[in-house]
Amino acid sequence: MPRPGRNSYSEAKPPYSYIALTAMAIQSSTEKMLPLSDIYKFIMDRFPFYRKNTQRWQNSLRHNLSFNDCFIKIPRRPDRPGKGSYWALHPFCGDMFENGSFLRRRKRFKSPHLAQQFAQIQSALAAEQIPMKPADPSLFFQEQAKIRLSALAPGSHIQGYPNINATAFKQPFTIENIMAPDYKGPTMLSNQPLVPPITMGGFPALPNGTSWPGSAYSNCSNIDTCQISHTNSDYPSQFNSACSALKPPFGQTPTLSLPMKPTLQNVGPLPTQHPVPAHSHTGTLVQAAPQAHHHHHHHAVHHGHVSSQNRTLTSTLMSTLNHH
DNA sequence: GTTTGTTTAACTTCTT
DNA sequence: AAGAAGTTAAACAAAC
């Protein structure tokens, strides 16, 4: 028994919301998507707190998966039978924890309809006097998906952004972030968008012999021949014919079956969590939620129309996308 | 029969 | 104080 009146570190509730925990699990995976059972497993392996009361928190977690638009379902491939879908992050969900708090997001991500997204992006680009390319919605989203995916390829560059390569991206969920024993609140979160949300044409090149990560892409060595998804092969025509009819949830609509962010591949796999005896102090040091609230928002995101004077195209777009 | 997923609803906690 | 974000419970359907 631990000392009376005091929990051991490993029994304390980790300072992460279910959304944060789930995002960590998803991003820690090489394919940036996981079935439910593996999300459970990730959490239980690393946080002893969640080895108890599994019924309770797993119900809550499932609620979060369904309820929050930042999580999308990706159908299983036929060659990978099993229960349930894979869960991934919505390609446009952005940095959900850019405020530095893993407990509470500044704003809940709501996914607009794809058609709406397209219109918003289009007008945002128009405001910057930048032509949209490609102009066709379905192709546009395909390319967006590919561009985002390219960030997962180590060493690859994104055309037009010579200073950005895969290893340059900040990692929201590094081992340090997850396990830092002296975690004292907001640290290490990147304000920088992981992938430029818009590209003006051109595909990033992959080094010879490398292939695109992600199960749907694992056989693709050439981006141009890469099919968007086995289940979404009819995506373009569907989009074109029924653009206005698209409705969430994404499970019923053609979606971009792609997780968005690069993550732990530079860090390597997370260490398997030493099966910690429940009362040991040698396990994962998980501290109670920090009480310090550092919230210095450099540029508050306002509702309604946003002046783009001092803002980059990127931030304009992101706020546009995240706005309702 | 259990797991996975959706939904409603009441509740708590945090922000403004 | 009010609203937003997060948690928990619970009923239920569908998939395996």
A263 within 8 A of A166, measured Cβ to Cβ: no
Give residue-wise pLDDT tens across range A191-234. 222 222 222 122 222 233 333 333 333 333 222 222 222 222 22
Contacts of residue A163, defined as CB under 8 A and 6 or more positions apart, other chains included, come to none
- Count CA within 13 A, CB hemisphere, residue A312: 9
Residue A58 pLDDT > 80:
yes
Instruction: Report CA(A195)–C1'(B16) in Å, whole number.
Output: 32
The structure tokens listed for A51 are 């080895």
Give residue-wise pLDDT tens across range A151-173. 444 444 433 333 333 333 333 32
For strand B, the positions having any atom within 7 A of a protein Cβ are 3-9, 14-16
| Angle at CA of residue A273, ends A270 and A277, nearest 5° | 170
The neighbouring-strand residues paired with A157 are A165
Give residue-wise pLDDT tens across range A95-114. 677 666 777 877 776 655 44
With tokens 């500044």, the residue in question is: A106
Provide the pLDDT confidence category of residue A78 given band limits of 50, 70 and 90.
Answer: low
> HEC profile for chain A?
CCCCCCCCHHHCCCCCCHHHHHHHHHHHCCCCCEEHHHHHHHHHHHCHHHHCCHHHHHHHHHHHHHHCCCEEEECCCCCCCCCCCEEEECCCCCCCCCCCCCCCCCCCCCCCCHHHHHHHHHHHHHHCCCCCCCCCHHHHHHHHHHHHHHCCCCCCEECCEEEEEHHHCCCCCCHHHHHCCCCCCCCCCCCCCCCCCCCCCCCCCCCCCCCCCCHHHCCCCCHHHCCCCCCCCCHHHHHHHCHHHCCCCHHHCCCCCCCCCCCHHHCCCCCCCCCCCCCCCCCCCCCCCCCCCCCCCCCCCCCCCCCCCCCCHHHHHHHHHHCC
Provide the pLDDT confidence category of residue A127 given band limits of 50, 70 and 90.
Answer: low
pLDDT > 90 fraction of chain A, expressed in percent and rounded: 12
Residue A281 pLDDT > 50:
no
| Per-residue flag: A298 CB under 7 A of strand B | no
Single-letter residue type at A154: P
Instruction: Report CA(A18)–C1'(C5) in Å, whole number.
Output: 12
Instruction: Report CA(A84)–C1'(B3) in Å, whole number.
Output: 8
Instruction: Report CA(A12)–C1'(C8) in Å, whole number.
Output: 18
Nearest of A48, A49, A41 to residue A25 by alpha carbon: A41
| Per-residue flag: A186 CB under 7 A of strand B | no
Q: What is the Cα–Cα distance from A138 to A3, expressed in whole angstroms?
A: 60
| Per-residue flag: A134 CB under 7 A of strand B | no
A35 vs A70: which has the higher pLDDT: A35
Residue A292 pLDDT > 90:
no
Q: Which residue is nearest to nucleotide B3 (CA to C1')?
A: A83
Average pLDDT, integer, range A233-259:
27
The structure tokens listed for A4 are 């009376």
Write down the pLDDT at residue A184.
Answer: 26
A321 within 8 A of A120, measured Cβ to Cβ: yes
Number of Cβ within 10 Å of residue A307's Cβ equals 8
Nearest of A61, A68, A95 to residue A250 by alpha carbon: A68
For strand C, the positions having any atom within 7 A of a protein Cβ are 4-11, 15-16
| Per-residue flag: A19 CB under 7 A of strand C | yes
| Per-residue flag: A289 CB under 7 A of strand B | yes
pLDDT > 70 fraction of chain A, expressed in percent and rounded: 26
What domains, with CATH codes, occur in chain A? 11-114 (1.10.10.10)
| Per-residue flag: A37 CB under 7 A of strand B | yes
